[in-house]
Amino acid sequence: MALYEHIYLARQDVSQQQVEELTTALTDILATGGGKVTKNEYWGLKGLSYRIRKNRKAHYTLLNIDASPAAVAEMERQMRINEDILRFMTVRVDEHEEGPSAMMAKRDRDDTRPDRGGFSGERRPRRF
The tens digit of pLDDT for each residue in 26-44 reads 999 999 999 999 999 999 8
The predicted structure's pLDDT at residue 26: 93
33 contacts 74 by C-beta, under 8 angstroms: yes
Q: Is the dihedral of CA 67, 71, 73, 74 positive or negative?
A: negative
The tens digit of pLDDT for each residue in 77-122 reads 999 999 999 999 999 998 888 877 788 777 666 655 555 655 556 6
Amino acid of residue 53: R
